[in-house]
Each structure stands twice: as C-alpha cells, then as structure tokens.
Amino acid sequence: MLTPPRTVVRREAGLYALERALQRRGFRHVAGADEAGRGACAGPLVAAAAVLPEGRRGEVEGLADSKLLTPASRERVYAEVVDRALAYAVVVIPAEEVDARGLHVCNLAAMRRALASLTTRPEYVLTDGFGVDGLGVPGLAVWKGDRVAACVAAASVLAKVTRDRLMVELDGVFPAYGFAEHKGYITPEHSAALREHGPCREHRFSYVNVAAVSGRDGRPPRARRPGGHRPDEPMERSWASGGTVGVALGEQPRPPTPVGEDVAMEGGVR
C-alpha cells in the first residue's frame, strides 16, 4: 500500500496545510471524518465525511472546528461545504443502536460507513482522534483533527449541524426535556427534567445517568428497554430506526441494510 514519505506539518501553518502536504505527495483526494454527539445522553450519534477540492475552491471562509463556531456561522459554513465538497456523506446512528452495540463501536462504524459512502474515493483519510481501519487506503488519526485539517473540520460541521437539526425536531416531540437548547447533552436543566419525567425513548439507557432514573437501580442495560410509546407521541421517527440515512442534494438514499459494523450504508453525496 502506498504511503507518503515523512512530512513535517506545523500546526501554525494553518487549517489547510496538512491536506496540501498530502496532495503534494500525490494524494489528491483527502477525506476527513468526524462525529457529533458522543457525549450526549440523548439523541443520535452522527458521523460525517467530506472531500474538499484542491486549491482555492476547497477553501471555505470561516471553516473551523464546529464547536468553536456560533450556530449561525455553522449553518453558513455547512451550506458552503455542501456546495464546494467533491463528495460528502452523513450517517445517523439512533440511540437504541448506541445502547445495543456500545458508543465506541458505533462511533467507528459510523465514520467507516460515511467514508465508504463517498462517491469520490479518497486516496488518504484523516480522522478526528480515532483511527478507522478496513478502508483500503492509508489514513491517520489526528488529535483534535477538526482544528488541524480542513476536511475534518468540514466533516465536523456537517455532523454537528445535522445532529442539531434532528435534536430541534425531537424537541417538538418531547418538549419536556429542552432538547432544542442543550441538544441532549448533560446540563443541570436536562438532569432536572430527567429526574422529573424519567427518560424518553430517545435517551441512551446505557448511560449511567439515564439508567439511574429509569428504575433499573442505576445498572445500565446493554440492550434497549421500553417498547411502548406515550399516547401523545407519534409513532413515526424523523430518521430510519434501522441505522443510517443520507442527507443531500436531492439524491434519494437507498433503503437501509442491516446494521453490521462493517456494512457501508448509503449517505448523502455529490
């Protein structure tokens, strides 16, 4: 397998320096992957992958780690990434799958699926924090990659904006929890709502704080729990409960396939 000669890229060289160095070594299409929602105790885990074009076309004004951007800036940068990217993919892992398979397994599987869904095949892959194997191309796990590599930052924005939009939708279904404000993360307000109302079906019951208020004596179950729904809750979900959905540019996602860890699922691409 082709690997690049040793190259030193200094952090102060800027967000595009690592990709440009790889491109100079012959890796034209460098993909970045990142996720949003690891630390949340409610809602889905969302992963995204993106390949930005070479040169000025691939430079997105204001691009940065999604956590450093305001909501309005993230939306603007999201639109720019979608417009400029050679390819991108977004994968949504529902809360029940996180419970059943475990967070870390789902995190790696989601990034692998997103990368496998790119219509422009990457020649090199950069991931945020965790290495992802089984891709068939060389790759590098970059510490705080969303602050070091533009393609990872782009994936970070795609994942964060997609997840935030889903959490706002869930707030309309479960208004008691304030999902639109805290996006499912553990805040004093969210914890108070959990104690008062108990968890809903979008909470992650494998998380200790959710299990503690679920009537299971604080023991996090490995598998998903309540099956029913409240009379005032719609049966539909905003995404396919079977595993993944794609979001993008008018292309219809293919029907979900079984959720095996190594199965590539269709994402939004262009």
Summarised one tens digit per residue, pLDDT across range 174-189 is: 999 999 999 999 999 9
Instruction: Specify the DSSP element, H or E, that contains 35.
Output: strand 30-36
Nearest residue to 34 via CA among 146, 163, 167:
146
Q: Is 107 exposed, middle or buried (0-12, 13-18, 19+ CB in 10 A)?
A: buried
CA distance 223 to 265: 23
In terms of pLDDT, which residue wins out, 164 or 5? 164
Collapsing DSSP to helix, strand or coil, 125 comes out as strand
Write out the two tokens for 185: 């993360």
In tens, the pLDDT along 141-150 reads 888 877 889 9
80 known member of a binding site: no
146 labeled part of a ligand binding site: no
Query: What is the percentage of the chain residues whose pLDDT exceeds 90?
Result: 56
pTM greater than the 0.85 cutoff:
no
Quote the CA–CA distance of 93 and 152 in Å, as a whole number: 19
Strands 30-36 and 87-93: unpaired
Rounded to whole angstroms, how far apart are CA atoms 207 and 216? 12
128 belongs to an annotated ligand binding site = yes
Whether 30 shows a pLDDT value over 70: the answer reads yes
Return all residues near 173 (Cβ < 8 A) that are at least 6 apart: 202, 233, 234
Transcribe 215-234 into DSSP letters: TSTT---SS-------TTS-
Predicted pLDDT at 45:
97
Which residues lie below 8 Å from residue 270, measured CB to CB, with a gap of 6+?
82, 85, 86, 87, 88, 119, 248, 249, 251
Going by pLDDT thresholds of 50, 70 and 90, the confidence category of residue 48 is very high
Task: Return the exposure string of 32-51: e unless at least 16 CB atoms fall within 10 Å of the residue's CB, then b.
Answer: bbbbbbeebbbbbbbbbbbb
User: In percent, how much of the chain has pLDDT > 70?
Assistant: 75
> pLDDT averaged over the chain?
79
pLDDT confidence of 221, banded at 50, 70, 90? Answer: low
Beta bridge partners of 117: none
Q: What is the pLDDT of residues 57-79, one digit of tens each?
A: 878 888 877 888 889 999 999 99
Average pLDDT rounded to a whole number, residues 264-270: 29
pLDDT above 80 for 56? yes
* For residues 246-260, average pLDDT: 29
**Spatial CA neighbour of 232 closest among 149, 176, 163:** 176
Is the predicted pLDDT of residue 91 greater than 60, yes or no? yes
For residue 128, what are the β-bridge partners? 142
